[in-house]
Amino acid sequence: GQLEQLRHRLSSRLASIRHVVAVMSGKGGVGKSTLTTNLAAGLAMKGHAVGVADADIYGPSLARMLGVAERRPKPGRDGVAPPRTVLDIKVMSMALFLEDAQAPVVFRGPSREAFTWKGMLEMHALREFLADTDWGELDYLLIDLPPGTNQFATLHDLIRPAGSLVVSLPNRLSREVVGRSLVLARQVLKAPMLGVVENMAGYFCNGCLSRQPLFDRQAEADYDGLPILGRIPFDPRFVDACDAGRPYLLDYADAPPGQDLMGLCDRL
């Protein structure tokens, strides 16, 4: 039936993508979209063909961070063609995709029934979104997921990414929330994880040329035994870059956070 067709389309799409990397977080506002944007930029600067999918329908920001928020994707013969940004990164946002079909957003509700409906609609929407986008040949497709484990579970069910990244902040609260998400992801879903990225891990002080802590220094990181793949320092220029719709890495690859981001790209 129709669902079979959709499944088939999805798997043939994914066949032309070498690595799918899901980026998740426990809480919002930890810099997940910022890191996804800059990992995409770093990979592209290293010569890879890169696409990014913004699957966060409730707080989509990737298209804005990459400067293509105003550009509408074009329907083509082989699906919807994603707009291209600087460095030729292909960006597709589920929010643009769902513009005419607001249904999943309507089904927010505390009741179990509404929740199940919402989950089903999101699952279907995510499947269509990934299957109907004409990604072409890619070395990397980075998928920016909403915070929490719901959409991660959905994605895992659909395509089982070979590796996923988790973004956290180096403070106790964020680590605890991420820890809980990880238990679900690894023990219940058996999802393979690449590791954790700690964002805003200190800031680089230009006066003394060293790294200073920003948050709680006592808290010991425990991410269910997962490795920390990178620690990205705080730099206010991330905020300017985000507002300007231009990846930070494009201008600051040599700054300490830029070097850390480039190193992180090699670990994907």
85 interacts with ligand ADP by CB under 6 A = no
Q: Which helix (H) or strand (E) holds 21?
A: strand 17-25
Tell me whether residue 31 or residue 170 sits nearer to ligand ADP (CB atom): 31
Window 50-69: residues binding ligand ADP (CB under 6 A): 61
**CA-to-CA distance for 41 and 246, rounded, in angstroms?**
10
Asked whether residue 90 is marked as a ligand-binding residue, the answer is: no
Residue from the set 114, 162, 239, 244 that interacts with ligand ADP by CB under 6 A: 239
**Tokens 């201008």 identify what position?**
251
Asked whether residue 26 is marked as a ligand-binding residue, the answer is: yes
Q: Which helix (H) or strand (E) holds 246?
A: none
Tell me whether residue 31 or residue 83 sits nearer to ligand ADP (CB atom): 31
Number of chain residues interacting with ligand ADP (CB under 6 A): 18
Neighbour count for residue 102 (Cβ, 10 Å): 10
Write the secondary structure of 150-176 as one string of H (helix), E (strand) and C (coil).
HHHHHHHHHHCCCEEEEEECCCHHHHH
Alpha-helix runs per DSSP H in 90-234: 94-97, 103-106, 112-132, 150-159, 172-183
Q: Which helix (H) or strand (E) holds 203?
A: strand 193-205
**CA-to-CA distance for 183 and 163, rounded, in angstroms?**
15
Alpha-helix runs per DSSP H in 192-244: 237-244
Range in contact with ligand ADP (rule: CB under 6 A) among 106-114, 170-178, 181-189, 232-240: 232-240
Tell me whether residue 62 or residue 96 sits nearer to ligand ADP (CB atom): 62
Range in contact with ligand ADP (rule: CB under 6 A) among 9-17, 29-37, 77-85, 187-195: 29-37
Residue from the set 33, 93, 151, 154 that interacts with ligand ADP by CB under 6 A: 33
Residue from the set 22, 52, 199, 265 that interacts with ligand ADP by CB under 6 A: 199
Window 147-186: residues binding ligand ADP (CB under 6 A): none
Tell me whether residue 43 or residue 167 sits nearer to ligand ADP (CB atom): 167
CB of 4 to ligand ADP, least distance (A): 35
Our measurement of the distance from residue 245's CA atom to the centroid of its chain's CA atoms, rounded to an integer in Å, reads 17
Asked whether residue 148 is marked as a ligand-binding residue, the answer is: no
95 interacts with ligand ADP by CB under 6 A = no
Tell me whether residue 25 or residue 149 sits nearer to ligand ADP (CB atom): 25
**CA-to-CA distance for 107 and 125, rounded, in angstroms?**
13
Which positions make up the binding site for ATP? 26-33
Tell me which residues touch ligand ADP (CB under 6 A). Answer: 25, 28-34, 61, 199-200, 232, 234-236, 238-239, 242
